[in-house]
Amino acid sequence: MKTIFEKSNGTDGINLTDEKIDLSFLNDNLTRKEAIGLPQIGELEVMRHYKELSDRNFCIEKGFYPLGSCTMKYNPKVNEFLSALEGFGALHPLSDDEDSQGALELMYNLQEALKTVTGMDAVTLQPSAGAHGELTGMMVIKKYFEVKGDNRKKVIIPDSAHGTNPASAKMCGFDIVEIKSNEKGQVDIDALKSVLDKDVAAIMMTNPNTLGIYEENVLEISELMHTNGSLLYYDGANFNAIMGHTNPKLMGFDVVHLNLHKTMATPHGGGGPGAGPVGVVEHLKEFLPTPIIAFDGNKYYRNYDLKHSIGSVKGFYGNFGVLIRAYAYILMMGKNLKNASENAVLNANYLKEKLKGYFDLPYDEPCMHEFVLSGEKQKHESGVSTLNIAKALMDENTHPPTVYFPLIVHEAIMIEPTESETKEKMDEFVDVMIKIAKEAKENPEKIISAPHTTPIKRVDETQAARHPDLKFTE
Ligand SMILES: *Cc1c(COP(=O)(O)O)cnc(C)c1O
């Protein structure tokens, strides 16, 4: 496909005016001396160009999107309408509190709602993604120990954790202590005990963990940690599995982030924008970033007065547009958030049972909202790798699942259907996966050379990630 620059043919898109615009009021050094080389092309051709580009995109509106850990659920369109309301969209972030009562009220109510679902005592909406929430939470933990005069250096992280966990802890200057999972894919209590000493500031856990398995011993773990004077950090990326059934407070966690773009249905394909609010228990309240949105019984205001605040972690309030969408979703769902989690778990277990006869299932346990298959069988039998299977799915109007994560499963295929899919859609996916498993056996070349129907075939994954070339050059 040609770029819009290559399609440029000297046609004027729109004629604003035939008269020369008088720019004499502008200082001479502010006016352009020559054209900047924008493409010259008619309106109809512009429309066709961008429509064709958008048709090449994959999105949840186009097909099944079982990208494990990412919770690609359907994002109701009413959220888009609400976040675009003029009172929100046109509000200047530097407006006074008095002039932004509606927006502040929305943020205050969202903080309260997130306190309710997580069980935490205070929430900041500032962080702009899960990883950013982790960094914020670890900064809170770091400062908490500093203020106590107990400079603990270590953070324990299970080997099933998302890579952002060790990265966030490391950025705060902690040393990472990795512990192995046991044969059930859960934190190994003995491994934990063997590394627990008075230099351990915290453990970072995801529950259900990245294998989609609920950590049965979480209460024992939180007791061990607290007895040792350590804190527990909850990576809430998998919160979609437990809403309204339990919460991180009941499990004994002290600091929590949520990924609103995952759990609370805001669009997040292509890397953002997102929001990663952080909740903390009572004794960590004063460490949160400022401002916190507060209410004095009469009006809403930004409170900068937190004794041990780590400072600001983002300009203004965070990604306000995402916060509006998440709040709308929570209001719309109400108590049904609980059903959403039930259906997410039901859907995942349904797919797991349907597929486990065709692919390896390293941890054959009841799962929560996602599960992890392995492509090892296909790899050994016919040289078809998990990457090949992922590419073959693209030929079937299906977004590939998350692959090669978590790291502890070889040839991992991590599937998360979410609650928004129907049984019919999941049955279609099962058929597609079985077809690919069959083809891998009978005609492996076809899978190994997939995709066959996409505009771009195989890319060099390493080069694409390390040296993306996104410029247009003639
Ligand atoms: C998505 C995810 C993260 C990181 O969240 P972002 O919002 O992408 O920064 C961290 N941990 C787990 C388990 C995740 O799935």
> What's the confidence (pLDDT) of residue 461?
82
3-state secondary structure 431-470: HHHHHHHHHHHHCHHHHHCCCCCCCCCCCCHHHHHHCCCC
258 Cβ neighbours under 8 A, 6+ residues apart: 114, 117, 118, 133, 236, 239, 264, 276, 277, 279
Question: Which atom of ligand 1 is the closest one to the Cα of 133?
Answer: 9
What's the predicted TM-score (pTM) here?
A: 0.93
Query: Pocket around ligand 1: residues whose beta carbon is below 6 Å from it?
Result: 69, 129-131, 162, 164, 206, 210, 235, 237, 259, 274, 276
Question: Which atom of ligand 1 is the closest one to the Cα of 274?
Answer: 7
Q: Which two tokens stand for residue 419?
A: 């609650």
Query: By the 8 A CB rule, do 445 and 388 touch?
Result: no
Task: Identify the CA nearest to 433 among candidates 345, 352, 358.
Answer: 358
Q: For the chain, how many residues are written?
A: 474
> What's the confidence (pLDDT) of residue 18?
67
- Ligand 1 centroid–CA 387 distance in Å is 21
Q: Which two tokens stand for residue 299?
A: 């009006």
DSSP per-residue letters across 263-302:
HT----TTS------EEE-GGGGGGS-SPEEEE-SS-EEE
Q: Where are the alpha helices (DSSP H) in 334-397?
A: 336-355, 376-382, 386-394
SS3 helix, strand, coil % of the chain, rounded to 5?
40, 10, 45
Q: Residue 335 corresponds to which amino acid?
A: K
Q: What's the number of CA atoms in the CB half-sphere (13 Å) around residue 256?
A: 30
Using most ligand atoms within 8 A of CB, pick from 71, 136, 159, 164 the residue to mutate for ligand 1: 164
Query: Which residue lies with its CA nearest to atom 2 of ligand 1?
Result: 237
- Ligand 1 centroid–CA 31 distance in Å is 45
- Measured CA to CA, the distance from residue 374 to residue 377 in angstroms comes to 8
Question: 438-472 burial, b for 16+ CB within 10 Å, e for fewer?
Answer: ebbeeebebbbebbeeeeeeeeeeeeeeeeeeeee
Q: Residue 185 corresponds to which amino acid?
A: G
Q: Which two tokens stand for residue 10?
A: 């000297």
- Ligand 1 centroid–CA 195 distance in Å is 26
- Ligand 1 centroid–CA 474 distance in Å is 38
Three-class SS state of 217: coil
Q: What are phi and psi of 238, to 5 degrees?
A: -105, 25
- In eight-state DSSP terms, residue 241 is G
Question: Which atom of ligand 1 is the closest one to the Cα of 164?
Answer: 10
Averages of pLDDT over runs of 10 residues in the chain (474 residues) are: 90 72 83 86 94 91 95 95 95 94 98 98 97 98 98 97 98 98 97 98 98 98 98 98 98 98 88 90 98 97 97 92 97 97 98 98 97 98 98 97 96 98 98 98 98 90 85 64
H/E stretch holding 373 reads strand 371-374
> What's the confidence (pLDDT) of residue 124?
98
- Ligand 1 centroid–CA 346 distance in Å is 22
- In eight-state DSSP terms, residue 409 is S
Task: Identify the CA nearest to 238 among candidates 222, 251, 220.
Answer: 251
Q: Indicate the burial class of 86 (C-beta count within 10 angstroms; 0-12, 13-18, 19 or more).
A: exposed
- Measured CA to CA, the distance from residue 76 to residue 86 in angstroms comes to 19
Query: Which residue is associated with the tokens 């998440």?
Result: 326
- Ligand 1 centroid–CA 131 distance in Å is 6
Task: Identify the CA nearest to 262 among candidates 248, 254, 272.
Answer: 272
> What's the confidence (pLDDT) of residue 35?
82
> What's the confidence (pLDDT) of residue 231?
98
> What's the confidence (pLDDT) of residue 15?
67
Q: Which two tokens stand for residue 458?
A: 């195989």
Q: Which two tokens stand for residue 335?
A: 């108590």
> What's the confidence (pLDDT) of residue 473?
62
> What are the residues facing 398 on neighbouring strands?
64
Dihedral sign for Cα 381, 382, 386, 389, please.
negative
